[in-house]
Amino acid sequence: MSRGRKGEQTEAALKDAARRVLERKGYFNTTITDITAEAGRSHGSFHHYFASKDELLIALTAEHAVNLCGQIDPEEHAQGLHTWVGMRAHVREFWRAFRDHQAVSVAIFQAAMISDDFARRWRDVNAHNIEVLADHLRVSQAAGHLPHLDPRLAAAALAAMWSQFCLLWNNPALRPVGVSQDPELAIDTLARLALSGISGQQPSAEP
């Protein structure tokens, strides 16, 4: 195995280990020793790739931003955010990204509470989400729909609602008491609220 390939595997192992430890212990309680022990790597190997726990979280944050809203089916996307199919597809993908990166999402939020640098990075992740949604709203507007909306403002409102609810629902310790544990119902509910909110009417074509 080449040195470069081995290095890539070690870096990936440290990132994967960090995600698992963050999920169990949270950002504040996670240490570098926890991460290296989980990865089966030496403490020194960690500092070969990351100067600190913060730097590792920065790397995970960048991957999280890239994955958000990145796998929407082209045919569903073509339906536009003014339709039930299009809106639900966007909510489902947003949900998937937050579910799959739950530990990183919570860690970023925790770090942002005490660090201006991470607060900016949290804002940057949100800016990425908002821009993706705003572009998709503009597609609907170009087709003659939702003319009353400010795309960026509407996108910011949708991203805030979706991200907060996803973070709460996907964390059993934070999920409101009595809320349904059916993810499909949760996705449907978010899509219904979003579609009726931006269109001013109830969805007319639901399964």
Q: What CATH number is given to the structural domain containing 10? A: 1.10.10.60
Interatomic CA distance for residues 22 and 4, integer angstroms: 27
Same domain? For 33 and 72 the reply is no
Interatomic CA distance for residues 42 and 137, integer angstroms: 48
Same domain? For 95 and 158 the reply is yes
Long-range contacts of 114-117 (CB under 8 A, 24+ apart): 115/54, 117/54
- 16 domain residue, yes or no: yes
Residues 6+ apart with CB under 8 A from 110: 26, 27, 28
Same domain? For 139 and 189 the reply is yes
pLDDT at 104 (0 to 100): 83
Which residue range forms the structural domain that includes residue 38? Answer: 3-50
Q: Read off the pLDDT of each residue in 35-53 and give the average, rounded to a whole number.
A: 91
Specify the amino acid at residue 87. Answer: M
pTM greater than 0.85 (yes/no): no
Same domain? For 122 and 160 the reply is yes
Number of domains in the chain: 2
Best CA proximity match to 196, nearest among 80, 76, 84, 72: 84
Best CA proximity match to 164, nearest among 138, 186, 135, 142: 186
Q: What percent of the chain has pLDDT over 70?
A: 90
pLDDT at 68 over 90: no
Same domain? For 100 and 42 the reply is no
Same domain? For 95 and 43 the reply is no
